[in-house]
């Protein structure tokens, strides 16, 4: 979007040059033609500048290299050299804070990436890293510009290298607003968050035609790599929305929860929700019977400021909830088992989802609150053969490696290795609390009694009566709510209604936590 032109005197030594500049800028801003713009709108898509206008605060955008044009020749390129070369780059503000952005212009070369196009993106990425500010990419391109050959591919390599260099340094957000195929899809995969819009955006390495030629499978573009596929099945997309306006509004909301870079804390927002507000609803929300499900979302709503939170990967691996919220105005990351889905067990996808979220929170100085109600890891041949050991180890590694404040709360059950992995005190949680209904054990009482008292049960005149007796005995000895607290594995057993107050107090105390990791080039996390 062009900067409003000031009134200038009609005479003077520079008047003619300025008038020419104004004319060039107007052409560059307008784009290739009204017909191309109409075609973009007909697809239900906005133009690059319209998207930037929704993302950034009004009149804050400052464009970089608007007049850049490619220098390629052959295949008719020498006769077609539009300004911007199909990508709009620059910076502006979101709620007053600096944000860098680049947006593919599908009206020019289908948004395809050529050498000049890539160089513009490289520059704005370097500027974002140097300035220590978030980078948002508004993706709507047809991949590499075939006419420029290997130069276009090298351009992608430069983007990937900068994505990696910026990882954990500045927030990187990819917004998919059109096609993204082949190697181009790896840039969003390297960023912190991926947003998609249904029907108009797709991501895949090989398109439907190639899939059909190689495997014989017939599938549509959306069926192969649409927003719902990546939000529910592959886990590639963190968020999916029905239209661009809603999608970009949510990007702004996410940015409000993130710091500018890894050297800053997330912004604090004054809250009218009292920090000592009681949550009496929690007393009845979670059933004492460990086999009865409930919705963990309702627990989170009751604890956080004004019941508001932003769930990440909401529709993928639903047996675990990852969300950003505020407690007394300060941003926290919440990781919580979801008893409504697979009883809240940890499986391959849940472990991967939570591990990446924990790493993101740690990278950007966001304290982590873990809410436990986990019966263990999901058993089964598919899980074992799929590598549940190494995938579960990803979550373990992420927690053990995290140096931000970490507070865990055991709502009900916490069994076996899953209890250890879900930020137990033994792997470095700063504070661990539990509700009076908690059960911390190697396994459930039924299974434990069957193992420990197998002989007594088998030899009894009434095996079932003996088994029930042994289950009761095991619970009384090792699974009462205060067993872990008596051994210092839980810092306190709290009234559920005071959960919000306790968490806020703990995080306030830990606000200036400092922890050093051993000197090393980098770790070697499980893959």
Q: Which residues are catalytic?
A: 182-183, 417-418
What is the DSSP secondary-structure string of 1-28? Answer: -PPPPPP--S-STTHHHHHHHHHHHHHH
**What is the Cα–Cα distance from 5 to 53, expressed in whole angstroms?**
18
Q: How far is CA 424 from the centre of its chain?
A: 23
**What is the Cα–Cα distance from 260 to 254, expressed in whole angstroms?**
12
Helices (H), 257-404: 282-285, 296-303, 348-363, 381-385, 388-401
**What is the Cα–Cα distance from 79 to 75, expressed in whole angstroms?**
9
SS (H, E, C) 310-325: EEECCCCCCCEEEEEE
* Nearest Cα to Cα of residue 261 among 166, 170, 125, 136: 170
SS (H, E, C) 440-501: EECCCHHHHHHHHCHHHHHHCCCHHHHHHHHHHHHHHHHCCCCHHHHCCCCCEECCHHHHHH
Token pair 């804390």 is found at 265
Spell 311-333 as b/e; 16+ CB within 10 A means b: bbbbbbbbbbbbbbbbbbebbbb
Contact between 214 and 220 under an 8 Å Cβ cutoff? The reply is: no
**What is the Cα–Cα distance from 181 to 6, expressed in whole angstroms?**
42
Cα angle for residues 215, 219, 225 (degrees, 5° grid): 105
């Amino acid at each position: 979007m062009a900067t409003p032109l000031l009134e200038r005197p009609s005479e003077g030594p520079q008047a003619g040059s300025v008038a020419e500049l104004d004319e060039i800028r107007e052409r560059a801003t307008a784009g290739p033609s009204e017909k191309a713009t109409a075609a973009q709108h007909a697809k239900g898509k906005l133009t690059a500048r319209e998207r930037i206008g929704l993302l950034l605060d009004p009149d804050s955008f400052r464009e970089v290299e608007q007049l850049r044009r490619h220098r390629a020749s052959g295949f008719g390129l020498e006769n077609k050299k539009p300004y911007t070369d199909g990508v709009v780059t620059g910076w502006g503000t979101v709620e007053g804070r600096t944000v860098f952005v680049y947006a593919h212009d599908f009206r020019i070369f289908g948004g395809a990436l050529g050498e000049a196009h890539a160089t513009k993106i490289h520059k704005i990425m370097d500027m974002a890293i140097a300035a220590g500010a978030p980078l948002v990419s508004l993706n709507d391109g047809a991949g590499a510009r075939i006419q420029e050959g290997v130069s276009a591919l090298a351009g992608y390599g430069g983007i990937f290298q900068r994505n990696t260099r910026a990882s954990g340094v500045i927030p990187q957000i990819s917004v998919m607003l059109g096609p993204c195929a082949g190697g181009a899809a790896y840039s969003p995969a390297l960023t912190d968050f991926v947003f998609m819009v249904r029907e108009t955006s797709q991501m895949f390495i090989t398109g439907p035609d190639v899939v059909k030629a190689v495997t014989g499978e017939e599938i549509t573009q959306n069926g192969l790599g649409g927003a719902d596929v990546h939000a529910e099945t592959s886990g590639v997309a963190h968020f999916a929305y029905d239209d661009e306006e809603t999608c970009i509004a949510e990007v702004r909301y996410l940015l409000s929860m993130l710091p500018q870079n890894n050297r800053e804390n997330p912004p604090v927002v004054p809250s009218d929700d009292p920090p000592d507000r009681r949550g009496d609803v929690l007393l009845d929300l979670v059933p004492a019977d460990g086999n009865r499900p409930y919705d963990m979302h309702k627990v989170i709503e009751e604890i956080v400021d004004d019941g508001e939170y932003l769930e990440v990967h909401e529709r993928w691996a639903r047996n675990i909830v990852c969300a950003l919220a505020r407690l007394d105005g300060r941003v926290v990351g919440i990781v919580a088992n979801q008893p409504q889905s697979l009883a809240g067990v940890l499986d391959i996808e849940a472990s991967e989802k939570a591990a990446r979220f924990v790493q993101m929170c740690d990278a950007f100085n966001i304290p982590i609150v873990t809410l436990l109600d986990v019966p263990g890891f999901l058993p089964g041949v598919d899980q074992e053969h799929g590598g549940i050991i190494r995938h579960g180890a990803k979550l373990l590694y992420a927690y053990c490696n995290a140096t931000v404040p970490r507070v865990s709360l055991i709502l009900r059950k916490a069994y076996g290795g899953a209890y250890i992995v879900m930020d137990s005190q033994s792997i470095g949680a700063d504070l661990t609390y539990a509700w009076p209904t908690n059960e911390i054990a190697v396994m459930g009482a039924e299974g434990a009694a069957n193992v420990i008292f197998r002989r007594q049960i088998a030899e009894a005149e009434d095996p079932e009566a003996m088994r029930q007796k042994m289950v009761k005995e095991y619970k009384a000895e090792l699974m009462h709510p205060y067993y872990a607290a008596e051994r210092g594995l839980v810092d306190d057993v709290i009234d559920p209604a005071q959960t919000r107050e306790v968490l806020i107090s703990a995080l306030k105390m830990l606000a200036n936590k400092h922890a050093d990791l051993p000197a090393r080039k980098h770790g070697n996390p499980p893959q």
